[in-house]
Amino acid sequence: MRVVLAIAAKDLRQRLRDRSAWVIVFLAPVLISALMALAFNNNSEFRANIGVVDLDHGPAATGLTQVLNSPELEDTVHVRSYGDESAARRAVDAGRVHAAIVVPEGFTQALHGGTTAPVKVLDSVDFGLQAQLARAVTESYVAQVNADRLSVATAVAAGAPQRDVPELAAKAALLRLPEEVRAEGLPDDALKVISYFGPSMGMFFVLFTVGFGARGYFIEQQQGTLDRIAAAPVGRGALLLGKSVSTFVYSLAGLATVTLVSWLAFGASWADPLGVAALSVAMAVCVVCLTALVIALVRTEQQAQGLASILVFALVLLGGNFVFASGTTPLIRRLALFTPNGWALRGFTDLGTGVRGWAAVGAPLLGIAAFSAAVALVTALLLRLRRTP
């Protein structure tokens, strides 16, 4: 074990003497993640300015306005009234409101029977989320109104006299749909940009150590360093293990630096520090496996650098290191599950939204472990084939 630690310490000293190693693994990821957090800052509160055009002037239309002004939406929705649809359309086009709801004439009367024009939602391509909110509230309210209409119609069909229809409609308006959806289970805290891009950029630059490690191996081979070590009473296993330990420590130190600086300096937050540590350790182990794979596949320093670069950029592009996973296509989201960094980012995202423990990191750790095991198996087969005459 003393020999393994001596080899690892020697490799670490060599890397730390290289200024580019400090920049790539420690400085660059912190700066890039901070810049991306500033560029994609999402800490501002979500607000929706909704216009309402009440052409009905009845209690049913007033009820929709009351829903929009309810305590549940008061921190999110601000309501503005307009006299006609054209005024609301101009306000939406000018950006004074994000969307507008037009309640047609006869909307309340339709509760007593008959039909009316549908409720319209005027939206803008510039404010898609606010338009979705307006449509969701409107559709929910209209569903309740249709349920009220159905209850009144059912009572009339069962023999209730027409003179009781207004009273029945008033009673029906107090009813609520018997089934409703309520979110429960996993927390849904807002994900800070730095909580995603901090570890994302850390993993991106740490993956570059695959190229550094592979190149260093071939440089030492050309210089005869490996032969001199092999000539000493040191087994090949101790040599490989020592180099693996140095790569692991170097990678883990880079990830730890980025996460700590993101937390202390930029306000990143994750629900479970142990989960962050587990994901970082798993990614450091994966970097060791990838470095060994590159060494097993190539014969020269130049080949190692080229293959490592292709491998790194393929992983970060598929894994979602440059964009939020939710903003990609379904195909890319599926492909990300074949990459260790994609699984790790999934874990960091859950941790950043308040999920704790195994629920956040269980599947990501298993995904990273499966990828690392597959890489290690392929590497072992390649090394065995290389030794076979």
Residue-wise pLDDT for 30-52, tens only, equals 888 878 777 666 545 668 899 99
**pLDDT-above-70 percentage for the chain:** 82
One domain, residues 78 and 217: no
Q: Looking at residue 162, which CATH number applies to its domain?
A: 3.40.1710
Question: Do residues 216 and 345 share a domain?
Answer: yes
160: its two tokens: 């209730």
Q: What is the pLDDT of residue 237?
A: 59
Model pTM? 0.66
The continuous run of DSSP H or E covering 80 comes out as strand 77-82
Q: Indicate if 161 and 240 belong to the same structural domain.
A: no
In a domain, 183, yes or no: no
Confidence (pLDDT) at 367? 96
The Cα–Cα gap between 2 and 289 comes to: 22
pLDDT of residue 185: 46
For residue 74, the model assigns a pLDDT of 82
- Collapsing DSSP to helix, strand or coil, 118 comes out as coil
User: Is residue 280 assigned to a domain?
Assistant: yes
Same domain as 249, residue 104: no
Look at residue 174 and give its three-state secondary structure: coil
Q: Note whether 128 and 209 are same-domain residues.
A: no
Tell me if 239 is assigned to some domain. Answer: yes
Q: What is the DSSP string of 320-370?
A: TSSS-GGGS-HHHHHHHTTSHHHHHHHHHHHHHTT--THHHHHHHHHHHHH
Residue 315: predicted pLDDT = 94
Q: State how far the Cα of 57 lies from the Cα of 42, in Å rounded to an integer.
A: 39
Residues 265 and 344 in one domain: yes
With respect to residue 179, please indicate whether it lies within any of the assigned structural domains: no
Are residues 137 and 217 located together in one domain of the fold?
no
Number of domains in the chain: 2
Burial of 46-64, coded b for 16+ CB within 10 Å and e otherwise, reads: eebbbbbbbbbebebbebb
Single residue among 145, 172, 199 that ends a domain in this structure: 172
How high is the pLDDT of residue 172? 57
Asked, for residue 35, whether it belongs to a domain, the answer is yes
Q: Are residues 226 and 322 in the same domain?
A: yes
Residue 139 lies in a domain: yes
- Under 8 Å CB-to-CB from 11, ≥6 apart: which residues? 216, 242, 243, 246, 247
Q: Is residue 99 part of a domain?
A: yes
Q: Are residues 84 and 110 in the same domain?
A: yes
**What pLDDT does residue 174 have?**
53
**CB proximity list for 370: less than 8 A, separation 6 or greater:** none
Q: Classify strands 48-54 and 120-122 as parallel, antiparallel or unpaired.
A: unpaired
Q: Are residues 35 and 143 in the same domain?
A: no
| Structure confidence at residue 100 (pLDDT) | 94
pLDDT lower than 50: segments of the chain: 43, 181, 183, 185-186
Question: What domain range includes position 79?
Answer: 48-172
Same domain, 150 and 222: no
The pLDDT score that the predictor gives to residue 25 is 76
